[in-house]
Structure 1
Amino acid sequence: MPYNISVAMCTYNGEKYLKEQLESIATQTLLPNELLVCDDCSVDDTLGILERFSLNSPFQVHIFRNDKNMGSTKNFEKCVSLCTRDVIALCDQDDVWLPEKLEKIISVFENLPSAGVVFTDALVVDEELKPLGYNMWESTNFTNKEKKDILNGKPINTLLKHNVATGATMAFKSLYRDRFFPIPANWYHDAWITFVIALYCDLRFIEEPLIKYRQHGAQQVGGIKNENFSLEKGFKNTREYYKKEHEHYIVALNKIIELKDQVASSQEIIKLVRQRVDYLQLRAGPPKMKTKRLIKVMENLLTMQYHKYSNGFLSAVKDLLFKP
């Protein structure tokens, strides 16, 4: 079936790079049907650039200015809610799309009707769009095993470890929108959308960089390349970090329980998420009594939680040496 496309773009003081992004959308080999823009109270020429672009755009452009600053997650939630087409492609203000991005994404939806989310790799570039020598998936450490899990219908195994679908590269079917609303404040919008839709249907990816993902000082989340494993890296995450992650997955667990009657294999997924929650609780604050701490650490070593989600034995040693 043919799919109509909405592009959901959020802007905030984006005048420096916005023109290039808009031009890259307007020169797609498959044009979207509409561009929805929610501006989060910009004080530069962002709105002027958008309005001038809309005058000669090859597709409909709808511009909305927030009455107050909402922040990235809630701004994207609003923008997605305003989209009217079958497929919604998320869009940042500072990247550049390669010409065949939308065409190749839509081709996946057409060839695999069970897909709910399609995402791509990205070429990581500097402010002047010069390649930095690596792609996004190298930055996020999207492994071959994780790719196989996704292709074999087990995306939750990967998403419980980390989000691999960067919002600027992804598109999803709008029919799932009501199921992931509202987007929790302690989740990034792209991670939450991907996680919830993965409960219902397939994820698919394109092993090709289809955007230039620009790195600059004003970014909220960048694509910094991971360093090689080191002792320092193994000990870097703080108890506060794990407390936040614990809260993060408590929200996910409650959502799955809420949707369990709609989700195939919901009991198995709930079990996996509960394991993740329990593990994060351990990392956030191991038991003060040494015997109980040793038992908890050994349990999580035997179930491979340390190896799946952290740095294996190194992380276990960290928790054994915990000082209350």
Structure 2
Amino acid sequence: MNRSATPEVAILLCTYNGQHYLSDQLDSIVTQTYPNWIMWVSDDGSQDNTLSILAEYRSKWPDGRLSIVHGPGQGFVANFLSLACRADIQADHYAFCDQDDIWEADKLQRALDWLQGVPADVPALYCSRTRLVDADNNSIGFSPLFAKSPVFANALTQNVGSGNTMVFNHAARLLLLEAGATVDVVAHDWWLYMLVSGCGGKVFYDPYPSLRYRQHDANVVGVDLSWSGLWFQFRKLWRGHFRDGNRRHIGALRGLRARLTPESWETLNRFATARDRWLIPRLVGLKQSGVYRQRLSGNLSLIAAAILKKI
């Protein structure tokens, strides 16, 4: 894509029965200080008033600003990947968007300020911290603050950026296209983090909360830092969810061997080999692979998973 003074951003919004909070999200996008954006919405079979709300906004907005398509009906990951891989969507940059958040007015501008400093042929991904709010938009805290570098060795075991904060360039989008819309991965945002960091791209984690991340009973994915939330994560680990996700990611990444840097390929193979060794070589191999999480508690849980062979 050619550089311009005001590059176009395609906002990729996925919806499913989102009538309660969708208008707040759309209104926050209208107030963006960065003006050059279009929106594509993939609805995954909503049975409420979501499509009516979208049709109302489409009628109010200029022609061509809002396009609505039907999703594959296979869950949020497949919906986002199918939208990101649509050949008829072409822009300079792209932004994932959830149906129930509220964007800060400068969200797109902050992302574009950083993305414009990266050469157009280098995959680039912006993500940020979030402000957590309840169903009524009352502030209840922040997502964890990450200080370590967002690189491939981190991406293999942890996603630092929620998809609702992610803005990425066309070079990063081409990686998604090459991998395909049906790739078997845990989450679209985690997959993009692995792709960009593993294929020689640049990832920037902004400590500034770029949006209000609504936490409510209908969240498909949320941020639960309570003891019950941590216990839920441990149960998923014990039942093999983390190990199975690693297996799927390793397979998907190996399918893009030609795109991975030599360093990323070596990290991936060391990590993959360590997973299936017996205890001591498993721990040694994990250390040698260089993979890590952002915080001490995360690294301790990574070691625990390795000891239990749940990695």
TM norm. shorter chain > 0.5: yes
Matched, 1:179 2:175: yes
- Asked if residue 189 in structure 1 is aligned to residue 197 in structure 2, the reply is no
Q: Paired residue for 1:202?
A: 202
Match of 1:124 among 102, 127, 132: 132
- 1:164–1:112 CA distance, 2 compared to 1 (3 A): same
Q: Answer whether contact 1:256 1:270 (CA < 8 A) is retained.
A: no
* Equivalent residue, structure 2, for 1:136: 143
Q: Deviations over 1:23-54 (max 9, x none)?
A: 00011111243110011110100000000011
**Amino acid across the alignment from 1:9:** L
Once the two structures are aligned, what percentage of the paired residues are identical?
25
Q: Where does residue 53 of structure 1 map in the other structure? A: 57
Give yes or no for contact 2:125–2:172 (8 Å, CA) kept in 1: no
| Aligned equivalent of 1:286 | none
Normalising by structure 2, report the TM-score: 0.82
Task: Please state if 1:72 is matched with 2:71.
Answer: no
CA contact (8 A) 1:7 1:32 kept: no
Which residue identity does 2:23 align to in structure 1?
K
Contact 2:275–2:306 (Cα < 8 Å) also in 1: no
Alignment of 1:97-246 (within 5 A): 97-113=103-119, 114=122, 116-133=124-141, 135-138=142-145, 142=146, 144=147, 146=148, 149-150=149-150, 155-181=151-177, 182-183=180-181, 184-198=183-197, 199-225=199-225, 237-238=237-238, 240-246=240-246
Equivalent pair of 2:8/2:36 in contact (CA under 8 Å)? yes
Say how many residue pairs are matched: 292
The counterpart of 2:27, out of the listed 23, 47, 70, is 23
What TM-score do the two structures reach when normalised by structure 1?
0.79
**Post-superposition CA distance 1:232-275 (Å, at most 9, x none):** 98897215234303312322441342425xxxxx2221111122
The Cα shift of 1:64 comes to 1.2
Q: Is 1:299 the equivalent of 2:284?
A: yes
Root-mean-square deviation (CA), in Å? 3.1
State the secondary structure of the residue aligned to 1:83: coil
Which of 256, 267, 271 is the equivalent residue of 1:276? Answer: 271
How far apart in 2 are the matches of 1:306 and 1:169? Answer: 24
**Corresponding letter in the other structure for 2:34:** L
Structure 1 unaligned runs (5+)?
A: 261-265, 283-292
Question: Deviation string for 1:126-168 (max 9, x for gaps)?
Answer: 10111112x1234xxx2x2x2xx34xxxx11221220112110
In structure 2, runs of 5+ residues without a counterpart are none
Q: 1: distance between equivalents of 2:126 and 2:110? A: 10
Residues 1:312 and 1:301: Cα distance change in structure 2 (over 3 Å):
farther
Task: Give the structure with the higher percent helix.
Answer: 1
What residue is the counterpart of 2:248 in the other structure?
248
Equivalent-residue separation in structure 2 for 1:88 and 1:223 (angstroms): 24
| In 1, Cα distance between equivalents of 2:152 and 2:76 | 24
Q: Is the 8 A contact 1:95 1:213 kept in 2?
A: yes
Residue type of the partner of 2:66? V
C-alpha deviation, 1:73, in angstroms: 1.5
Cα-to-partner distance string for 1:51-90 (whole Å, 9 max, x where unaligned): 0011112571101134x51321121122222422110011
Distance 1:168 1:106 in 2: 15
Q: Separation in 2 of the partners of 1:312 and 1:208?
A: 27
1:30, 1:100 within 8 Å by CA — same for their partners in 2? yes
Alpha-carbon spacing, 1:274–1:100, altered in 2? closer, same or farther (3 Å)? same
Alpha-carbon separation, structure 1, partners of 2:14 and 2:106 = 22
Do 2:267 and 2:290's aligned partners in 1 also have CA atoms closer than 8 Å?
Answer: no
Alpha-carbon distance change, 52 to 225 in structure 1, aligned in 2, over 3 angstroms: same
* Cα distance in 1 between the residues matched to 2:135 and 2:202: 34
